[in-house]
Amino acid sequence: MSDCVFCAIANKEIPSTIVYEDDEVLAFEDLNPQLPVHTLIIPKAHYRNIGDDVPPALLGTLFATVKKVAELKGVIESGYRVIVNTGEDGRQTVHHLHIHVLGGARMPIRMGPAD
């Protein structure tokens, strides 16, 4: 998609701090981190959200990458949170499927306003 920021990152048209990459997925640092570790994992192919007929094998690859990222970021033992926002009510702000991996500090009970 020509107007998708995550597609541009996957295509290396926009620079990012890459944590992990393979043929299908890219993991990079969030530009507005909510915790010391805040890495996003995206499929290189464009899917709007987790309900967008994503092939099961690709979903498996995305979620297998969570463990790799947690290991690379040093939070595998201390713990981390995995979030997939979907749609407007789910507060998805970039409409390209992505997984947040957050850690590096104790999780707050509440991460932001619920309006």
Task: Indicate the CATH number of 5-103 among 3.90.1170.40, 3.40.50.1860, 3.30.428.10, 3.40.50.150.
Answer: 3.30.428.10
Q: Where are the domains of the chain?
A: 5-103
Catalytic site includes residue 98 = yes
Under 8 Å between Cβ of 41 and 27: yes
Query: Cβ contacts of residue 54 below 8 Å, gap of 6+?
Result: 43, 47, 97
Which phi-psi region, left, alpha or beta, contains residue 41 (left: φ > 0; alpha: ψ -120 to 50)?
beta
- 20 forms beta bridges with 27
Query: Cβ contacts of residue 59 below 8 Å, gap of 6+?
Result: 50
10-residue mean pLDDT series, the chain (115 residues): 91 97 98 96 98 97 98 97 95 96 89 56
- 43 forms beta bridges with 25
- Residue 112's pLDDT is what? 60
CA distance 115 to 96: 23
Phi and psi for 65 in degrees, rounded to 5?
-70, -25
- Residue 114's pLDDT is what? 54
- Residue 107's pLDDT is what? 86
> For residue 107, what is the DSSP state?
P
- The one catalytic residue in 38, 95, 96, 98 is 98
CA distance 42 to 10: 8
- Residue 113's pLDDT is what? 58
